[in-house]
Structure 1
Amino acid sequence: MFGYIVTGLVAIEAIVIMGVEIFGSAPQQAKAFDLDESFVKIPEVKVLLGNQGVYNGLLGALIFATMFLLTGNQQILMLQLEMLFVLVAAIYGSLTATRKIILVQGLPAAIALLALYFN
């Protein structure tokens, strides 16, 4: 049960991040991603953030779809794979963008992955 709760929180977080990336104001985006506000106002950067937002939103939707449409071993396996995807992306993001990504995105995904493994 705990694994499903944390996994659901990871899905919600991905959708919230999508909201910031696509619909957030420049100050919100700059704060969230430790970037200069002038940088996130560049039209090409706004497009890149929006594109990244689509990926995050789709990942959140996929996690929820897996939780509600699959059952049994297939569900657990898919959720573990999705949490691994989030964890790998968080590791990469923490190495290339800002270190807080590993805590904000990676830690919940790692906890969910472990909880699902021991479910």
Structure 2
Amino acid sequence: MSMLAIILVTLIALLHLYIAWFEIFAWETRGPNVFASFPKDLFTPTKSLAANQGIYNAFLAAGLLWSLFINDPVWARNVATCYLIFVAVAGIFGAATASKKILYVQTVPATIALLAVWFT
């Protein structure tokens, strides 16, 4: 992968590590500040749901990071492609069901990174 692709994949992995940390460990403390429109009394009852989502985000980050350590360039590209598509599709679903902002935070960067993985 090119240096640009490596940087973009790394940034997306770091974003998903942050999201995982937030959903698993900081849902009740930082959540009310981040999701101001979500009723504050629902953060505690939805803590386990958020943590479950966080695990999925951790898996996305792990897959992206794994792709950076694969020595075979074809397999590195294939693994990065797989996980970037997962991120993009999750972003599309999130934009359709939760907030349009997710499209710009998740899908657009994943698509740009995917283009970098394949064309740089």
Provide TM-score, normalisation by structure 1: 0.89
Report the counterpart of residue 38 of structure 2 in structure 1: 35
Q: What is the 5 A alignment of 1:29-68?
A: 29-33=31-35, 35-42=38-45, 45-68=46-69
Q: Distance in 1 between matches of 2:44 and 2:93?
A: 24
Report the counterpart of residue 13 of structure 1 in structure 2: 15
Report the counterpart of residue 97 of structure 2 in structure 1: 96
Which protein has the bigger helix share?
Answer: 1
Task: Check 1:47–1:25 CA distance in 2 against 1; reply closer, same or farther (3 A cut).
Answer: closer
Report the counterpart of residue 73 of structure 1 in structure 2: 74
**Alpha carbons 2:13, 2:64 under 8 Å: kept:** yes
Deviates more, 1:18-27 or 1:2-11: 18-27
Provide TM-score, normalisation by structure 2: 0.88
Displaced runs of 4+ in structure 1, greater than 4 A?
none
- For structure 1, which runs of at least 5 residues remain unmatched after alignment? none
Q: Distance in 2 between matches of 1:11 and 1:94?
A: 19
Aligned length: 117
Amino acid at match of 2:44: K
Q: Distance in 2 between matches of 1:76 and 1:19?
A: 26
**Alpha carbons 1:20, 1:28 under 8 Å: kept:** yes
Report the counterpart of residue 84 of structure 1 in structure 2: 85
- The one-character-per-residue Cα deviations of 1:32-52 (angstroms, maximum 9, x if unpaired) are 45522222221xx11010011
Deviates more, 1:11-20 or 1:32-41: 32-41
Question: How big is the alpha-carbon RMSD for the aligned residues of Structure 1 and Structure 2?
Answer: 1.5
